[in-house]
Amino acid sequence: MARQRQADDFLPLTAVVFEILLALASGERHGYAIMQEVERRTEGRLSLHPGTLYRAISRMVKTGLIEELDERPDETDRRRRYYRISQLGRGVARAEGWRLASQVRAAQAKSLLPETA
Amino acid sequence: MRARTEPSTVAFSCYRFLLLAYPRGFRRKYGDEMASLFQDRYERGERSMVLTAGLWISTLADVGRNALFERFVSVGELRPRELAGAGSGAGASSLAGVAAYACICCVAPAAVALMGSTALFAGHDLLALRPQLLSASFVLVAASLWMAYSGPSAAYSGPRAAAEPGCQGGSCTLVRVSAWTASLMWLVGVLAPWWTELLHRHAHLL
């Protein structure tokens, strides 16, 4: 029987995968909305092109981090596929968040970052 | 919200043409959305020539990089029997696609680079053509194809493997071509003028 993949198996995440998980953590979105949310959150520092975005989405659907919705909530454009974060994806995003937080604490301990960052 | 209609701009058509670089399965599933997303980005930047030029440059890089990796991933995920040619048309079709794409991405730049260096040496030494360079190009082509089709094997397990007929214990061994191998193919082709010149000048092999 194949071993169930644990959240830690996916770490560390790439910036693109983590940003997609963050974008989907607040609700289901289609590709363009994910791209807009990532650009908004990163203030334009990370801009996802179609190839990068959909290749990442394809991998994430296959590994079970996100799920594709069967229905199309937007009736005006039925071509758009919607995605939502899975339970596994939420656990992976949480684990990555803790990992990054630990690194921030380490940087603060080395006086590379202020304590309030 | 207005209903989206199929855009018919030249830019949109060009992008749809670029999408042919992706494997057919990936293109069928995500092609429409990718084109739609490109169109949205294009409309945001089309008022500025600089933004439009930047978008096209980054789009070409995006398609080149991701289509290349997706091509190799699609080969990596073929089952061994498909790779052996005993499978259905899907495997053969995918392999043919990869062969064509390998020609475009690796063999063609390598051939152009070798032709360029041949012309350089011909001008320098007043020789019409160096047969050794042609031999080297054959070696390069053979090495590229070998790397494209073989590469290290890796154990694959998970829900997909569990669903595969003939895979023991939910685990299959698949032939994969890693990102490193793909990058190496590019590097060998791109650096061909440099290494041929190096061999020519210092080792007198060419």
CA distance B53 to B170: 48
What confidence tens digit (pLDDT) does each residue in A84-101 have? 999 999 999 999 999 999
Picking from B30, B59, B170, the nearest residue to A54 by CB comes out as: B30
Picking from B3, B34, B170, the nearest residue to A1 by CB comes out as: B170
Q: How many CA atoms lie within 13 A of B102 on its CB side?
A: 23
What confidence tens digit (pLDDT) does each residue in A22-80 have? 999 999 999 989 999 999 999 888 888 899 999 999 989 988 999 999 877 666 666 78
Choose from B15, B16, B22, B33 for mutation: most chain A CBs within 10 A: B33
Using the beta-carbon criterion (under 8 Å), do A2 and B33 form an inter-chain contact? no
What confidence tens digit (pLDDT) does each residue in B50-90 have? 777 788 888 888 887 788 778 776 555 544 443 333 333 44
Using the beta-carbon criterion (under 8 Å), do B66 and A2 form an inter-chain contact? no
Q: How many CA atoms lie within 13 A of B15 on its CB side?
A: 27
ipTM > 0.85? no
Of A55-59, B12-16, B93-97, B166-170, least confident by mean pLDDT is: B166-170
Picking from B36, B62, B158, the nearest residue to A51 by CB comes out as: B62
Using the beta-carbon criterion (under 8 Å), do B34 and A62 form an inter-chain contact? no
Closest CA to B112 of B132, B143, B140, B146: B140
Per-residue b or e along A64-90, where b marks 16 or more CB atoms closer than 10 Å to that residue's CB? bbbbeeeeeeeeebeebbbbebbebbb
* Chain B residues near residue A38 by CB distance under 8 angstroms: none
Nearest C-alpha in B relative to A4: B158
Using the beta-carbon criterion (under 8 Å), do B37 and A53 form an inter-chain contact? yes
Q: How confident is the model at residue B86, as a pLDDT?
A: 31
SS3 content of chain B, % helix, strand, coil (to 5): 75, 5, 20
Give the A:B interface size as CB pairs under 8 Å: 75
* Chain B residues near residue A49 by CB distance under 8 angstroms: 41, 58-59, 62
Of A97-106, B131-140, B156-165, least confident by mean pLDDT is: B156-165
Place of tokens 């493997």: B161
Cα distance from B80 to chain A (closest Cα, Å)? Answer: 19
Q: How many CA atoms lie within 13 A of A46 on its CB side?
A: 17
Choose from A1, A47, A54 for mutation: most chain B CBs within 10 A: A54
Prediction pTM value: 0.59
